[in-house]
Structure 1
Amino acid sequence: MRVLMVSWEFPPVVVGGLGRHVHALSRELVAAGHEVVVLSRAPTGTDAGTHPTADVTVDGVRVLRVAEDPPELEFAADLVAWTLAMGHAMLRHALTALLPGWRPDVVHAHDWLVAHPSIALADALGVPLVATVHATEAGRHSGWLPGPLNRQVHSTEWWLAQRADEIITCSGAMRAEVAALHDLDPGAVHVVHNGIDPRRWRARSAAPAPAAGGPRIVFFGRLEYEKGVQDLIAALPGIRRRHRGTRLLVAGTGTQREMLGERVARHRVKGAVRFLGHLPDGELTALLRAADAVVLPSRYEPFGIVALEAAAVGATLVASTAGGLGELVRDGETGLGFAPGDVPGIADAVDRALADPAAARRRARAARARLRTDFSWPVIAAQTARIYAGAVPGGPRELPRPKIPTGNLFATHPPVLPGAPS
């Protein structure tokens, strides 16, 4: 098949896990014999003078990296206007530089930021529109849409979900969430997990020697409120009472770095916490291999690719049951779990992991073995290709705006996991 993927991220433009997902999926589809073009963008804050539109081939994937247009727009300050401008530039370049000589069999949109160009292209070409919803605005805010911007994002997500001919989510939890928030039948939403290439995380040196001075627990990921690092910091005093000298190493960057520093001071663990910032892959791999436990305390997590990355290294996993994490880290089998936001539960789970290293190693081996079956990219690409093949173009649809409750959307539209009582 000829596949046009539309994504606001594609390496080297990477904001989160979405860009790496699109890169790996498109590469694997090409390896399976499909023809893939990715329509993406140049880095934020550049323009056609510094980063002109480029038409390149990456791992067999044709990538059209579209330059930003002249209007002075900032991502953080003008998000909706910036997104509309990005979509307009993508659409214009697709029409002038791509489609005259190439026509896709399917358009695959990744998240709300590319809803406008994706819908326009699918409508104009008369081909199926497949959309992967990687996260939701309400989910990121615990069910709330507190301001106009949040409601604008939510309504765009709803539009994309309603217009798409097929919807994909990365976990069963996300399927339930997307169906509830966007008025869909859960049975019509596909679950296709994110994947991982374990070779990227292969160690190139012997296992680190045990450290003197106490256990090392590691968090890595974005420093945002929904990642729950503040809860791990709050649990650290209790962990240190049971395991003297325990240190917390935090790898990553984000908007909540200052808040987390304040939490460290509040809980009087300044000497036990180090913020390492962004680490290159090699250093991150070494850090994870040296950890006595990798703790992922997310309050909201559509999938949790970091859990797969830690498993690929062979790390001991301790994770919340938020969203997709609860499907990736099976309590007692591939790791240890706790309820999102449960500070005593974090301390108890970390205590169990540190108290029985032999059992922790058995769980780590089970988690690593699962990568070859449930989370391999060839399997994921084949699942996605089957969805493409079964998609039927529904054609243009004129839709009203969604009615957005003023309260918590999870209270008015509670997600119900398949098989759970309604």
Structure 2
Amino acid sequence: MHTLIITPYFNSVKTLHPNSGGVGILVHGLTMALARKGVTVTVISNENAELVNEPNIVVHRVQRSTEGKTLVENILLSDIELLKKAIQVINKIDIVHVHDTFTAISALCLKSIFPTLPIVSTLYDTVQRRSFNHIGYNTIFFSNLQKKIISSSDITIAISKHMHYEIKEIFHLNNEKIRFIPCGIDENGYNIPNYNTKIKSQVIPSNNYILFIGRLVYEKGVQILLNAAPIFLNRDPSLKIVIAGDGPLKQCYENAVNKSTIRESVLFLGPVSGDKKICLLRGARLVVVPSLYEPLGAIALEAGICKTPVIVSDCGGLSEIIVNGVSGLKVPVADYKALAQAIIKLANSSVLRKKFIVNLYKRIHERYNPDKIAKQMMVIYRALIKNKKR
């Protein structure tokens, strides 16, 4: 079986660009697992894609030939380059798997040119819910792209049960056109020898810090963490808050902190990746994921692999990763008081932290194991290939 994967991002944690989000890591983990199971995989991605040294995997990097004037133009221009490379290699391909909203043109055109070619798509969010139903030009445009991907696909993959419901509700899909298969994180690459020594060089004063890693946008909920901070810092002034990431609200958050009583306790690191990201995850007392909207919550999986306990908002895919009181703590969405109390509880209980570390690590290996996920994906691939040959 020869699978073509088309994705805007393709990187392990070691090479992921800090502003690329988690899609690249998730696609990389799936690809490596498919190759381990004997599937031949051709990957087409952007110019920063990781070139892997595996016999069953070939990675093609493509680059925009011209620079657009807007975000939308650049997305379309990049997708066209992905499509051009896909057409060049398509004769060897049994099935195509497109990932994320930014591959809509590739999906639509490949289905039009090669109508018998099976196409699977994976969506990592829905634009309509991520924008909290705010109707603007970009929301309409990207939502239409998602419609094009779904209409071009034989099967659409939802990465969480929450996403399964969301996609069905918004795009009116029947059960035959959608499957729930979670994403997995490849544990290889997250182990760093002497990370405690390395982390001291990353301007972190001690391991007594609460960590947020993510895009600094409204839906990631950093404002909830900052609102909770005066409460839990009053109980334990030794705690520090480390915020790693970039985004349109970074300056807003920094300004708010600089004018507040917590300014000496908060450190903004900017975007992080590679060993620095892993060191931060492994060194933290706990990781907080206070999202208002979260289709999966890959950072919770990464924290679990790094054996760091997590507190999450009770929303989306996060609700499925964490069993409250067993593998972590869940708090109501946007409830900063509940978040503060959860941080106080977990930061001050080594017994609870150890319990959550063990149980979350076990849960990830049972439910979010890339090799198990690859098996599920191969069942879908084989069924579609068989049906197309009839």
User: Is the 1:234–1:267 Cα contact (8 Å) retained in structure 2?
Assistant: no
Q: Distance in 2 between matches of 1:247 and 1:84?
A: 42
Aligned residues: 376
Corresponding position of 2:354: 361
2:89 aligned partner = 98
Gaps of 5+ in 1: 44-53, 396-422
Q: Which residue of 2 aligns with 1:262?
A: 255
Q: Give the distance between the partners of 1:58 and 1:246, measured in 2 at CA.
A: 42
CA distance in 2, matches of 1:119, 1:142: 27
Aligned 1:10-409 pairs, distance under 5 A: 10-11=10-11, 14=17, 15-42=20-47, 58-60=53-55, 61-69=57-65, 71-74=66-69, 78-95=70-87, 97-99=88-90, 102-125=91-114, 126-145=116-135, 147-185=136-174, 188-205=177-194, 215-391=208-384
Per mean C-alpha deviation after superposition, the further-off stretch among 221-230 and 9-18 is 9-18
Shift of 1:313: 1.6
Which residue type is aligned with residue 93 of structure 1?
K
CA distance in 2, matches of 1:197, 1:84: 30
Letter aligned with residue 126 of structure 2: T
Structure 1, 268-277 or 215-224: larger mean CA deviation:
215-224
Q: Deviations over 1:328-386 (max 9, x none)?
A: 11110100011121111111111221232212211111111222221111111111111
TM-score w.r.t. length of structure 2: 0.88
Q: Write the distance in 2 (CA, Å) between the matches of 1:110 and 1:27.
A: 15
Q: CA deviation at 1:168?
A: 0.4
| Deviation digits for residues 177-214 of structure 1 (CA, Å, limit 9, x no counterpart) | 111111113574212111122232224238689x9999
What is the letter of the counterpart of residue 269 of structure 1? I
Conserved in 2, the CA contact under 8 Å of 1:10 and 1:40?
yes
Task: Tell me the SS of whatever aligns to 1:255.
Answer: coil
Equivalent residue of 1:4, what SS?
strand
Q: Structure 1 residues 213-222 or 82-91, which shifts more?
A: 213-222
Distance 1:112 1:175, change over 3 A: same
**How far does residue 301 in structure 1 lie from its aligned partner after superposition?**
0.9
SS at match of 2:316: coil
- Write out per-residue CA displacement over residues 44-89 of structure 1, whole angstroms, 9 at most, x where no aligned residue: xxxxxxxxxx9976433112212322x4414xxx233222222322
Q: Which ranges of structure 2 fall in alignment gaps of 5 or more residues?
A: none
Which residue does 1:5 correspond to in 2? Answer: 5
For the residue of structure 2 that corresponds to 1:250, the secondary structure is: strand
Q: Contact 1:330/1:336 (CA < 8 Å) preserved in 2? A: yes
Q: Percent identity?
A: 27
Distance in 1 (CA, whole Å) between partners of 2:165 and 2:316 is 10
Tell me if the contact between 1:214 and 1:247 (Cα under 8 Å) persists in the aligned partners.
no
- CA displacement 1:21-44 (0-9 Å, x = unmatched): 22221222112111111122325x
Cα offset, 1:174, TM superposition: 1.0
State the TM-score, normalizing by the size of structure 1: 0.82
Q: In 1, Cα distance between the equivalents of 2:385 and 2:378?
A: 13
Which structure dedicates a bigger proportion of its chain to helix? 2
Deviation at 1:233, TM superposition (A): 0.6
- Whether contact under 8 Å (2:209, 2:240) holds in the other structure is yes
Q: 3-state SS of the aligned residue for 1:359?
A: helix
Kindly state the Cα deviation for residue 154 of structure 1 after the two structures are TM-superposed: 0.6
